[in-house]
Structure 1
Amino acid sequence: MPVRPQAGPRPDATGLLLLLVTVIGWGLNWPAMKVLLEEVPPFSMRVVCATIGVSLLFAIAARRGEALSVPAGLFPRLVMISLLNVTAWMGLATFSLLWLAAAEATIVCYSMPVWAAIFAWPVLGERITAKRVLALALGLAGLAVLVLGRGVDVGMEKLPGVAVALSGAVLFSLGTVVTKRWPVAMPPASAAAWQTALGCTPLLVGAILTERPAPEEWSAQSWWLLLYGGLGPLGLCYLAWFAALRRLPASAAAAGTLLTPVVGVTAAAFFLGEPLGLRELVALGLIIGGVVLAIRG
């Protein structure tokens, strides 16, 4: 009697749900930030959201009984990772929206896994494969379509935004690889809270030196969006992401983040009326294709 092959392990439904919550929350934040920049200066926007998010994360860490202090000798590493993963990402991604539509900024920023695959060679010793070279080529082709798809003149106007968003994506990718090489041995909520707090400190300095926000003039809509940005993408989504990583294979979680730019582009078209035509779809397809190849290595 033939033996029936055993079925493989079933996907963790809770992990998949947590991943879905994460990518939806992160994706919706891009059009939200674009709207906020009409009233709230970029540094101030990030600082207010971070204050809400950090407060929530520390409260959750305390509720869970997690250690809130940074282990001895870990602080310099934590600062370096925070500058790459938070300061560069949150600051540069936000500023890119001054030149780019929310959909365009989302597409550029989520080329991150392509650059992470490149940095993995010198930092982690992972060899450069043909797939990774092709991934880089697809990612660059997607950026070219996004910038120059409507002509050189339009492309030059958007070039500063693409450069800023791309710098954020590259530095975040470097931070991801550095974190994998030298991990931060801290509980998840406490680690996220400390990284966000330390990473947003330079943004606070920037707000003090260059901006004169007038919170009393901000509309109710702006305050609701700031609350969402702090509680959702910077608070609960980070916790959901860490929880999903514990339940799902790393490759599956990384592939799942590809839904984030799809959510961001779709939400920007629905809520902001941004164009969602052939240029955006081709650029999104090329970059996602590159990211898939980079993940598979």
Structure 2
Amino acid sequence: MPGGNARMTTFHDAAARGRISPLGLFFLGVASIGWGLNFPIMKNLMTEWPPLSARGLSGIIGALALALIATSRGETLRVPRAMWSRLILVSMLTIGGWVAFMGLALLWLRASDAAVLGISIPLWVALVAWPVLGERVSPVRAIALLIALAGIAVLIGGSGFDASLDKLPGILCALAGAVCVAFGTVLTKHFPLALPPLSLATWQIGLGCIPVAVAGLAFEDPHVAALSAIGWASMIYMTLVQFCVCYVCWFAALERLPAATASIGTLLVPVVGVLASAAMLQEPLGLTEVIALTVTLASVALALRS
């Protein structure tokens, strides 16, 4: 899923005037579906490879591929010296925190649960912006946050007390990842990162995933021989589709669509994640999952509209 900083880019004149481009909607759909499918794919990969190694290494290789795409489009990868410290900090939060915590969350959570929790990022952005930027939480966004917490409560309590305790570490990890993205987004708003969009994404993904990969190689025990054909296909998907195709399509959508349309369009990500998890992993898709997804989507849509 796109981090908040990756959304900081200039928009095409048509997007600025609020026009809806069919091609922009196509690119938005590809990005959202691609990120949504990543949840069950990652969950399945974890039966063969540990989370930090898988997500960290795929991110580094994906960043290298994205760098080639950026340079082929004429974007510079040069970072001004004064920007390095905040670029590293924001990358560690937005990408490193998200990649690490969401990967760990999947040790305890179903892929569909992680997809629902992941979409709550805009709500935490609003909450973090209050003390950091002095942006007060409006009554509408406060209500949206309460609604989101209700959706999380449904996830926690929907399977009984014992199952809820089993899920709790995963829920805390997923929320920690979302809060890391929120802090990174707010810091970017306070200290803008003036780089071309694909170049910025390249550096953030690379810098954010390096410590995740190092931690994985230090504390986990990944073996290439353990990967089946499906495992290799999953690694390739995470590397090229999640980190390259989806980001290229996301920025292409931003050039052709109003920012509000693109932001609301990402609500498709958890829907795809939940439905794909049911189809690919045979995860349950019952009343609890539908209620949690609906309530969380409603809260984020309310926050974005405000």
* TM-score normalised by the chain length of structure 1: 0.94
Mark the structure with the bigger radius of gyration: 1
* Residue matched to 2:116: 107
1:261 paired to 2:279: no
Once the two structures are TM-superposed, the CA of residue 173 in structure 1 deviates from its matched residue by 1.6
The answer to which of 107-116 and 48-57 deviates more is 48-57
Identical pairs, percent: 47
2:57·2:213 contact (CA, 8 Å) conserved in 1? Answer: no
The answer to which of 101-110 and 121-130 deviates more is 121-130
* Residue matched to 1:177: 186
* Unmatched 5+ stretches in structure 2: 1-16
1:250 paired to 2:259: yes
Question: What amino acid is the match of 1:68?
Answer: L
In the alignment, which of 210, 224, 234 is matched to residue 219 of structure 2? 210
1:139·1:291 contact (CA, 8 Å) conserved in 2? Answer: yes
- The residue correspondences of 1:50-199 to structure 2 (distance < 5 A) are 50-199=59-208
SS at match of 2:81: coil
Q: 2:169 and 2:18 mapped to 1: Cα distance?
A: 47
SS at match of 1:189: helix
1:295 paired to 2:284: no
10 and 86 in structure 1: CA distance in 2 versus 1, 3 angstrom threshold: closer
SS at match of 2:77: coil
Q: 1:204 and 1:229 mapped to 2: Cα distance?
A: 14
- 1:201-243 superposed Cα distances (whole Å, 9 cap, x missing partner): 1112202211221102211111111001110111111121122
- 1:246-268 superposed Cα distances (whole Å, 9 cap, x missing partner): 22222111111111000000000
Once the two structures are TM-superposed, the CA of residue 10 in structure 1 deviates from its matched residue by 4.3
Aligned Cα root-mean-square deviation (Å)? 1.4
1:238 paired to 2:247: yes
226 and 262 in structure 1: CA distance in 2 versus 1, 3 angstrom threshold: same
Q: 1:13 and 1:124 mapped to 2: Cα distance?
A: 36
2:93·2:180 contact (CA, 8 Å) conserved in 1? Answer: yes
252 and 123 in structure 1: CA distance in 2 versus 1, 3 angstrom threshold: farther
Q: 1:66 and 1:112 mapped to 2: Cα distance?
A: 28
Q: 2:279 and 2:186 mapped to 1: Cα distance?
A: 35
* TM-score normalised by the chain length of structure 2: 0.91
1:102·1:264 contact (CA, 8 Å) conserved in 2? Answer: yes
Count of aligned pairs: 290
* Unmatched 5+ stretches in structure 1: 1-7
